[in-house]
Structure formats: structure tokens, C-alpha cells
Amino acid sequence: MKKYVFFLGIGGIGMSALARWFRANGYAVSGYDKTPTPLTEALTAEGIAIHYQDAVDNIPPEVRRNREQTLVVLTPAIPKDHQEWAWLREQGYDIQKRSQVLGLLTQGRPTIAVAGTHGKTTTSSMVAHLLHHAGVPCAAFLGGISVNLGSNLLLPGEGMKNKEVETSNSSSSTEAPTTNNRQPTTSTIPVVVEADEYDRSFLTLFPTVAIVTSTDADHLDIYGHKEALVESFRQFVGQIQPGGTLIINHTADPSVAAAAPEGVRVIRYGLSLEEGPELYATNITAQGHQFHFALHSPQGTTDGLVLAVPGYHNVENMLAASCVAELYGLGPDQLRAAVAAYKGVKRRFEFILTAGTVAAPKVYVDDYAHHPREIEAFLRSVRALYPGRRLRVIFQPHLFSRTRDFAPGFAESLSLADEVVLLDIYPARELPMPGITSELILSQITAAEKSLQTKAEILRNAETNPNFDVLATVGAGDIDQLVPQLKNILDIRWNGAEA
């Protein structure tokens, strides 16, 4: 029986949700991360010991003394030369990837798994919120901080507690399993999870309900080419439980829906009616920060829905989430109330500061978008909300490989802005690649103004060059570190007060 859980990379959004689950269930939790962040500080405040220097002596003594009683959870972001990881391997610790642990925790439970190369964090948070708001007991492991929950973890009382985690005690077990062995459902409380395609992590899941938001090319550093990525989605869909449901965006590769096992219901959704989806929206209008629309689903029509988190892509995400909520019994009135109460996810179309007037607004918004299609959807929605206003976008590319693979797409989507400012590439888990820099994107941008700046230059220019009405910071790296400083500068400029 495990008593101790040690996380290598505890500050990751998915890892921290697992750490919180183990902590809530009475395990002694500790971990390592590269740098302190607001998330690691929150974990520390919750009683989890975290260190930031890679040294074996920093591993808690109880972990070093109790190998058989310790589970080590690993994120793929940990470099192969990490000293603590090497020592734990050499000592024969039970080391599991985050995805494997998530698969163990959901085993035998009805699982609502949200997959897709973009949109899965928002959509999974929507599903969890709709069910929770309506009083449907559920658990959720989210890939972002839900504003409604104030966390990336939702526990439904006792339904997701005290589940003993049985592990293989294999320190070399770092490959995602690809078996199609289906596990019997032993609990009626659903678990909402973000099903990550990176490194084929989602193949540890055997969902009752699966959502696939998109199958656009991404993570080509792992897959090599899009067809291999699509094949992993086919495998994931093939693991849906008998009698389950697949809710899939009509723009996804058609072969993915075709891979659903016999007896699995397939529901296609989207904003466009051209392909005839069963699940769609009409009467979509932007009013202030809100999007109003009517939902058409296999259950019927629900009009008068008001989504306070703007964006056509978020209306589309809410379509899939609402369909799940209807499967779990939510009626039109419950759905209207729950949708209206949804406040979003941190760094997903998050309004940081608003000022000015209705006729001449001043707005600062922050978003996690890091794929060309995500950026395009985000910026088109910003344009719809603020037509005719001058838009400055600050973007930090994420990963050298993604920049290499999608530079033209990034340039095209960013060119929707009046002014584009690029930061250097955030490397995350990668080493630099010859010839791959932010200049590769910058050279192809057609916006009237474009530049490559450091964080210090961005802050100075926010003070000295106020020639914009709407500011957007965009990216998945550490660009969020600029947010509080930019907010303070703009609040003084726009409102004459400290933020």
C-alpha cells in the first residue's frame, strides 16, 4: 500500500491536480519543480512540500527511506539528465507517468474524457461546471484553473475519495499502454478528465463519454506527421466503453468517428450547418462580453442561452459540454442557469482590465492560445467584440518544433491584429533548433506594424506607446508573468490608479 507520493514536475497544471487529489485522500505528498509559480505557491499553502533545486538530498527523507510505500509521478517535461529522476530509477522506485496515474484513478468509473488538439481544457471545465452547478455529483481533473471552482480539481465528496491506487511497481513503466482491455464500471459518479494527445497519454483512458474537439496537426515532434496523430485519436475513440457516446466536432478527420466501436452513439457538432451536424447553435450574437445563442441537440432546442465567456469557439465548446449535461439529465432551465453562471478558465479569454466607454472601450485580455487555429479563433472573436478598435497582440511562441512546423499559420492568424509584438520562443522541454527563431514568424506577418521585443521592452512600450485600444497577451509559455505588470501600467494610464 502506498503512503507517499512524490511528483517530478509538480507545478504542471495536470500534475498539480493529481497532487491535490492525493493530498485530499490522506497521502503524504511532496515534489520538485524547476521554478516557483503562483500554482506551486498555492500547493505549498495547502501543505505540500516543494523544492526547486535538483539534488537527491532534497528528496524528502520519508520518500528516500520508504521505497516500497512510495509512488513517483513523472511529467514528460523532466529532462533525461535530471539527477533525482536518475536516482529514483536506480533505486527501483515505482515511477508512473501522469497519464498512467490518471488512468488508474479513473479505472472502473464512468469517465467523460475531452480530447482534441485545442479546446479541451475549456470544454472539460464547462462539462464539470454544468454538472456541478446542477447538483450532479462528479469529479474533475482539469488542465486549467476553473474560475468557478478556483481550482483544477473537483471532488464530489466521498465518491472520488479513498480509492487505493494499485501500481505496477515498475520503475521503467513510462510508455502509455495501448491495450484495449475494458474495465468494468464500479461507480456511478462520473469523472471529467482532459484527455491529452501529447505522447499518446490519452490511451490510458477508457471513457464512457468522449468529446473530440479537433484533430488538427500538432505535436509533430512526437508524431512526425498528421496521419500518426489522427491514428492516435482513432485508437482513443476505439476505447470508448460499449454503449457509450462520442461527441465529435464535424471538422475532425472523418476516420476518427468511423473508429467508434459498434454500439457507440456518435453525435457530430459545430457552428456550421453545411455538414448537417446533429448538435449546433443558431442566433449567435455578441452583446458586450456575452454571446447569446440557441442550442439545437438530439434532445431538442434550448433557446436563450447566455455565455459570459466570449468567443465563437467558446460557443462551440459549450455545445459539446451542454450535450454531455443533457445526457446526465439537465433540462432547459437547468442548462440556461448553468451556462449563464460559467465564468471560464484562467488564461482562456480572460479579461484582465477594462476601461473607457461603450463607444470607445479600452480592454486588456489574456489567452493561452498557442496553435494557429486557436489564435485565429481568439482574434476573430476579439474583432467581433470590438469592431474598428486598434488591436495590439503580444505573442510568445511555444516550442521550437511547433514554430518550425506552423510558422506560416502563426503569421497568418497573427496578421488579424493591427500590431504584432513577438517574444522569443519559449523552449519548454526542447533544446534550440538551428535557424528556428521568432523571426521565422515575424518575417511572414502582414500586419501594418510588427516587432520582436524583450519583456522589458514590452513593459516600457506599454508606458510610452499607448497607440492601441485592445491589448492581448497570447501564448502558453511564461508570458503570463507579464500580466500583472501590464495590468498595473494600463490601469494607471487608463484609470489613473494602481491596480
Q: Kind of pairing, strands 391-396 and 419-422?
A: parallel
What is the residue-averaged pLDDT of the chain? Answer: 89
- The per-residue b/e assignment along 8-35, b for 16 or more CB within 10 angstroms, e otherwise, is bbbbbbbbbbbbbbbbebebbbbbbbee
The pLDDT tens digits of the residues spanning 335-362 come to: 999 999 999 998 888 999 999 888 899 9
Quick one: CA dihedral 159, 160, 163, 168, positive or negative? positive
Contact call for residues 364 and 444 (beta carbons, < 8 A): no
Predicted confidence (pLDDT) at residue 167 exceeds the cutoff of 60: no
| Total-model pTM | 0.82
The pLDDT tens digits of the residues spanning 237-267 come to: 999 999 999 999 999 999 999 999 999 999 9
Residue 116 marked ligand-binding: yes
Amino acid in position 109:
R
Predicted confidence (pLDDT) at residue 381 exceeds the cutoff of 70: yes
The pLDDT tens digits of the residues spanning 52-75 come to: 999 999 999 999 999 999 999 999
What is the pLDDT at residue 310? Answer: 86
What is the CATH number assigned to the segment(s) 350-495?
3.90.190.20
What is the pLDDT at residue 217? Answer: 64
What is the pLDDT at residue 281? Answer: 94
The pLDDT tens digits of the residues spanning 280-333 come to: 999 999 887 889 999 999 999 999 999 999 888 899 999 999 999 999 999 999
Contact call for residues 180 and 105 (beta carbons, < 8 A): no
Residue 122 marked ligand-binding: yes
What is the pLDDT at residue 158? Answer: 43
What is the CATH number assigned to the segment(s) 4-97?
3.40.50.720
Calpha distance 184→180 (Å, rounded): 13
Task: Categorize the per-residue pLDDT at 79 as very low, low, confident or very high, splitting at 50, 70 and 90.
Answer: confident
CA dihedral 208, 145, 163, 204 (to 10 degrees): 50
Calpha distance 452→449 (Å, rounded): 11
Contact call for residues 463 and 487 (beta carbons, < 8 A): no
Domain boundaries, the chain: 4-97, 107-160+184-341, 350-495
Task: Categorize the per-residue pLDDT at 363 as very low, low, confident or very high, splitting at 50, 70 and 90.
Answer: very high
Calpha distance 2→104 (Å, rounded): 14
Predicted confidence (pLDDT) at residue 421 exceeds the cutoff of 90: yes
Q: Beta-carbon neighbour count of residue 189 at 10 Å?
A: 15
Predicted confidence (pLDDT) at residue 499 exceeds the cutoff of 80: no
What is the pLDDT at residue 176? Answer: 36
Calpha distance 477→87 (Å, rounded): 29
Predicted confidence (pLDDT) at residue 498 exceeds the cutoff of 60: no
Radius of gyration (C-alpha) of the chain in whole angstroms? 22
What is the pLDDT at residue 311? Answer: 85
DSSP string, 300-350: EEEEEEEESS--HHHHHHHHHHHHHHHHTT--HHHHHHHHHH---BTTSSE
Q: Show the cell assigned to 389.
A: 478598435
Compare 496 and 360 and report the one with higher pLDDT: 360
Reduced to 3 states (helix: H, G, I; strand: E, B; else coil), residue 281 is strand
Predicted confidence (pLDDT) at residue 405 exceeds the cutoff of 70: yes
φ, ψ at 490 (rounded to 5°): -70, -35
For the chain, the residue count is 499
Residue 429: DSSP 8-state: T
Calpha distance 99→161 (Å, rounded): 19
What is the pLDDT at residue 447? Answer: 96
Residue 118 marked ligand-binding: yes
Residue 174 marked ligand-binding: no
What is the pLDDT at residue 403? Answer: 96
Residue 119 marked ligand-binding: yes
Predicted confidence (pLDDT) at residue 379 exceeds the cutoff of 80: yes
What is the pLDDT at residue 353? Answer: 95
The pLDDT tens digits of the residues spanning 16-49 come to: 999 999 999 999 999 999 989 889 999 999 999 9
What is the pLDDT at residue 219? Answer: 56
The pLDDT tens digits of the residues spanning 114-136 come to: 999 888 999 999 999 999 999 99
End-to-end CA distance of the chain: 49
Predicted confidence (pLDDT) at residue 378 exceeds the cutoff of 50: yes
Thinking of the domain 107-160+184-341, which architecture would CATH place it in?
A: 3-Layer(aba) Sandwich (3.40)
Task: Categorize the per-residue pLDDT at 407 as very low, low, confident or very high, splitting at 50, 70 and 90.
Answer: very high
